[in-house]
Chain A
Amino acid sequence: MKQVNIPSGANLAQLYRDLQPDYPKFFKMDVVSKLGFLLTEMLVAGEAGRFQPRQDRAVLVFSRQGCLANDTHYAATMADFPSPALFVYTLPNIVSGEIAIRNKYAGETSAYVLESYNKDTMWELVRQAFQDRITQSAIVAWIDCPTDTQWTAEAFLVNRNDL
């Protein structure tokens, strides 16, 4: 099972440039989606058939804070001109959608907000995602961002036979 992580406080713009994904929308994303995007790039770069539409790959993202950092930024703009660009990231499941859109994954996508990092709960939910007989692999990520510069971000590429 392939595993990657991004250290807290890493320069995400530089990491984007290093990976060269040519996806300018990255710069408009909130920090949670940026981390999800980059983690996935690190997991699947060079994979055969990349960008071919597929239904057999799920995306499951877990966190404790959801999109709280972005929510805080958006709330600050409400006193003046509420920012549409920030508003669109005020849902914790946007990150799983961004990953699916980028990679043309049309399988299960979900985001879970847990009370704390709980490996047993997470893997039980991953196992449930594989019960649909369609899913053959999944991007599974823990992305927790109390602020724009502090996070825990790790991801796994899980195949059916890993379970």
Chain B
Amino acid sequence: MEQLINEIKLKVIEALNLEGMTPQDIEDTAPLFGDEGLGLDSIDVLELIVLLEKNYGIRLATPADGKAVFTSIATMASYVQAHRTK
């Protein structure tokens, strides 16, 4: 799981152009949205949805799923591990 978490962090940094940021700068359980976390916005959510489909073959069925999946890097990794098709 630790390897997957690190891999997802790298893909998030690349997809969202988080310039100068490294995986070590992102806490596994820190919120991705809001003032306390990475401060991502609604466009970033769309990029994360594309990231899941492109890299792991996961297509989110409903927007409501996204809220739980994208809580943190750790929740993303758990969802990927359980649902990945590639």
A residues at B contact (CB < 8 Å): 13, 24, 27-28, 80-81, 83-85, 88
Interface of A is mostly: helix
Distance to closest chain B CB from A102 (angstroms): 15
B16: interface (CB < 8 Å) = yes
B64: interface (CB < 8 Å) = no
Give the 8 A-B CB pairs with smallest separation, nearest first. A84-B46, A27-B19, A27-B17, A81-B50, A81-B54, A28-B17, A85-B47, A84-B43
Contacts of A81 in B (CB 8 A): 50, 53-54
Contacts of A24 in B (CB 8 A): 18-19, 39
Residue count of chain B within 8 Å CB distance of chain A? 13
Interface of B is mostly: helix
Check B43–A85 contact: CB distance below 8 A: yes
Distance to closest chain B CB from A19 (angstroms): 14
Contacts of B50 in A (CB 8 A): 81, 83-84
B residues at A contact (CB < 8 Å): 15-19, 39, 43-44, 46-47, 50, 53-54
Check B18–A27 contact: CB distance below 8 A: yes
Check B54–A88 contact: CB distance below 8 A: no
Complex formed: what's the CA distance from A85 to B42 in Å?
10
Q: Determine which of B17, B19, B43, B53 lies in contact with A88 in the assembled complex, contact meaning CB atoms within 8 Å.
A: B43
Contacts of A84 in B (CB 8 A): 43, 46-47, 50
Contacts of B43 in A (CB 8 A): 28, 84-85, 88
Contacts of A28 in B (CB 8 A): 16-17, 43
| Smallest Cβ-Cβ distance to A28: which chain B residue | B17
| Smallest Cβ-Cβ distance to A25: which chain B residue | B41
| Smallest Cβ-Cβ distance to B49: which chain A residue | A84
Complex formed: what's the CA distance from A24 to B38 in Å?
10
Contacts of A80 in B (CB 8 A): 54
Check B16–A85 contact: CB distance below 8 A: yes
Complex formed: what's the CA distance from A85 to B39 in Å?
15
23 contacts between A and B (CB under 8 A): A13-B19, A24-B18, A24-B19, A24-B39, A27-B17, A27-B18, A27-B19, A28-B43, A80-B54, A81-B50, A81-B54, A83-B47, A84-B43, A84-B46, A84-B47, A84-B50, A85-B15, A85-B16, A85-B17, A85-B43, A85-B44, A85-B46, A85-B47
Complex formed: what's the CA distance from A27 to B44 in Å?
13
Contacts of B39 in A (CB 8 A): 24
